[in-house]
Structure 1
Amino acid sequence: MSARTRVLWLAKGLGRGGAEQLLLNCARHADTSRYEIEVAYVLPWKDALAPALTEAGVRVHCLGAPGSGSATGTPGRADPRWPLRLRRLLAARRYGLVHTHMPVPAAAARLLAPTAGSPRLVHTEHNVWDRYRTATRWANALTYRRNDAVIAVSHAVERGIPAARRRPGAWVTVVHHGPDLSGAPEGPAARADARTGLGLPQDAFVVGTVGNLTPKKDQATLLAAHAELHRRHPGARLVLIGSGPLDGQLRARAAELGVAGSVLFAGSRSDVPALLPGLDVFTLSSRQEGLPVALMEAMTSGLPSVVTRVGGMPEVLDDGEQGLLVPPGDPAALAAALGRLAGDPPLRDRLGAAARKRAERFDVAGAQRAVEAVYEQVLRR
């Protein structure tokens, strides 16, 4: 390919979720001598990462009308005209390849692409199929084989793609993406600064999690586990970084459990890498995952983790080696694992050092090269 190929990355939103963060990480490492990357998204109120993408040299298109979400970022209803705007964008920009993320925009692109220059279609699967809503599964089922190639973020996600929806040959490629923490602070000073910024005692045992406040992340189980941990370790603190529809419900639950004073709802933050050094243990209580960027960031930061045995997490964290794995939806098991680490600082140090070592495998630049190898493969057909 002598000329650059224009590529559109299509997502539902550009909020601070893990899938969206992957777009930004990959954009910073894209081969701009070969690919002209643009990004389009559907939900205008989920735009936190749009400025960073623009700064990285990526042209960003919002497909939703500005009035379909409030000026303060409060979710509204998706503009029903966004597929028409997507069709016009595809026709006007004449993309050689469309790389979709999230199933609903992906299904729309698969239906519209043949009428707008027929770009090649690559899809990244971030979750297992059986976790999608019924309507989403049907939209996927009816259009999925139109993909020229599929990238799965973990082997667990790859196994979740139904055999009936696959195409023959090397159609699915598993790519373990990685975080981009270059220049992130570390060491005792970073720990002290993070705790001061969060208003946490310097000597407290601090557990933290990063994720949207949604049912699939199951912070309710984490709150119940923290309540049990707090009974055994009264100085323990829990930090929840993220925002979402369950914010009010989770705050009320913390109050019901009698631990509101030891739980910090930090909200959505753009400085997560600077906050991680303030934690003693990272945790995820998720009921479903593909392969969370937050876990990889925590491991890269040298944190021991306690996470549920779901999705791709057991692919990057060995139980008892870089952290501890527990069943989903089990507050007692989660509390026991956190309590084990609370009472054993040398174990925390050993697991954290092993996590940092394992994280050397996480290579965002290498992941983007693997993605571009898929692009090259489908563009040559």
Structure 2
Amino acid sequence: MKALHVITGLGIGGAEQQLRLLLRHLPVDCDVVTLTNPGAVADGLVADGVRVTHLGMAGNRDLAALPRLVRLIRSGGYDLVHTHLYRACVYGRLAARLAGVRAVVATEHSLGDSQMEGRRLTAGVRGLYLASERLGRATVAVSPTVARRLRNWGVPAPRIEVVPNGIDLTRFRFDPLQRLHTRRRLGLPEEAYVIGGIGRLTAGKRFGTLIHALARLPENCWLLLVGGGPDESVLRRTAHEAGVADRVLFTGERPYVPDGSPGPDLPSLTWAMDVLASPSPEEAFGLAVVEALASGLPVLYSSCPAIEDLPAEAAALARQVHGGTDEFARALAAARAEGPRPRTAPEAAHHYCITRSAAQLMDVYAAASSSSPSPQGVSSS
């Protein structure tokens, strides 16, 4: 089988890094097209031996990109097209059908109850999504929660397949020596209690909540924010106004796997933390939470379907926090008071092993490539 993955962009983000990890485990000959922004993940894919093409799309309404994509799909001789993220799903599904490819799969990475990839769920967004969705064979939801949202949106249940995001358990296995090395590289005091936040620095992630909570915690508490985004300057100003700017570290975007760029990679940064806090009120999966659990970290979260869809005992170190600054400050103080625990991955992390997710996706590919679509969704159990 030869497959083409079409994605909106390839900067460092959850969906983008998930695609790179997935391609390392799929037994399929895969190429990638990025509509825009061939960033760090594109470089990583090329280093992995994946052919990456930048379509050069100028914006959401750059209709000239559609015939270019159709020609690329036709010339590539692809058996299946797999699209990722909203713009790529809309253009990619249509282009695949125009190019004569009927095996079309899309993954819905970021559908919330009120937004998708930061855009409000207006009637227009929903209508365009549903119109393009009918051109594919299956829509993959990264969690049962997202599957429910898709059904509520109007996607027929038989067309929805649940294949959760996956993680590389080996990459996140706790390394105490690397923890010490990374903390020294970051300039953290030896006695520092490090609160971690991982994700795009946008208003929806509510990292300002953690900055204000830090101001209510002892002086040896630090905040390590991993990620980049449009709100970085806002968060820096918030830290300054809260009087904690000297205890908040911004690492910028960090890769999932070593790629030769300066600074520690994402797993090394999770090893340097003492607790992971995720105050985002609306998530489609909660990949940062699962990765933190894989490194043995205790986790405080507002929303994480990946954990909420499992039995409570599968992630004993994960605690849901309802509320804002006051509630997170109290929860962080309580986590600090409990002291360090053994850094071992719980059952929840093993449930989301990338090899398991890749095998489930292959089942979706097989069904999509058959003469008639499968009437049953693929179980995530």
SS at match of 2:251: strand
SS at match of 1:282: strand
Deviation of 1:113 after TM superposition, in Å, equals 2.5
- Which moved further from structure 2: 122-131 or 197-206? 122-131
User: Retained in 2: the 8 A contact 1:282–1:298?
Assistant: yes
Q: How many residues align?
A: 354
> Which of 111, 116, 121 is residue 128 of structure 1 equivalent to?
111
Corresponding residue of 2:141: 152
Deviation of 1:144 after TM superposition, in Å, equals 1.8
- Gaps of at least 5 residues in structure 2 are 256-264, 372-381
Deviation of 1:51 after TM superposition, in Å, equals 2.3
User: Retained in 2: the 8 A contact 1:128–1:156?
Assistant: no
Aligned CA distance change for structure 1 residues 110 and 205 (closer, same or farther; 3 Å): same
> Which of 28, 36, 39 is residue 43 of structure 1 equivalent to?
36
Q: Distance in 2 between matches of 1:314 and 1:118?
A: 37
> Which of 158, 163, 166 is residue 155 of structure 2 equivalent to?
166
User: Retained in 1: the 8 A contact 2:140–2:163?
Assistant: yes
What amino acid does structure 1 have at the position aligned with 2:233? G
SS at match of 1:166: coil
> Which of 46, 50, 60 is residue 52 of structure 2 equivalent to?
60
- 1:237 paired with 2:222, answer yes
Q: Distance in 1 between matches of 2:211 and 2:53?
A: 38
SS at match of 1:150: strand
Deviation of 1:116 after TM superposition, in Å, equals 1.0
> Which of 85, 96, 100 is residue 117 of structure 1 equivalent to?
100
Q: What TM-score, normalized by structure 2, do the two folds share?
A: 0.86
- 1:359 paired with 2:349, answer yes
Deviation of 1:119 after TM superposition, in Å, equals 3.3
> Which of 301, 318, 324 is residue 323 of structure 1 equivalent to?
318
Deviation of 1:227 after TM superposition, in Å, equals 1.9
Q: Distance in 1 between matches of 2:173 and 2:293?
A: 14
Q: What TM-score, normalized by structure 1, do the two folds share?
A: 0.86
Corresponding residue of 1:73: none
Deviation of 1:310 after TM superposition, in Å, equals 4.6
Corresponding residue of 1:178: 166
What amino acid does structure 1 have at the position aligned with 2:319? L
User: Retained in 2: the 8 A contact 1:194–1:276?
Assistant: no
SS at match of 1:40: strand
Q: 1:232-265, CA deviations, whole angstroms, 9 ceiling, x for partnerless residues?
A: x221000001110011111001111111111111
Corresponding residue of 1:10: 6
Corresponding residue of 2:379: none
- Which moved further from structure 2: 284-293 or 298-307? 284-293
Corresponding residue of 2:77: 94
Deviation of 1:127 after TM superposition, in Å, equals 2.5
Matches within 5 A, 1:1-381: 5-31=1-27, 35-44=28-37, 46-64=38-56, 80=62, 81-128=64-111, 130-132=114-116, 133=120, 134=122, 135-163=124-152, 165-167=154-156, 169=158, 171-183=159-171, 186-228=174-216, 230=217, 233-270=218-255, 271-316=265-310, 318=312, 321-327=316-322, 330-345=324-339, 348-349=340-341, 353=344, 355-381=345-371
Corresponding residue of 2:376: none
Q: Taking every aligned residue pair, what percent have the same amino acid on both sides?
A: 32
User: Retained in 2: the 8 A contact 1:318–1:324?
Assistant: no
What amino acid does structure 2 have at the position aligned with 1:322? L
Corresponding residue of 2:375: none
- Gaps of at least 5 residues in structure 1 are 69-76
Q: Distance in 2 between matches of 1:25 and 1:98?
A: 18
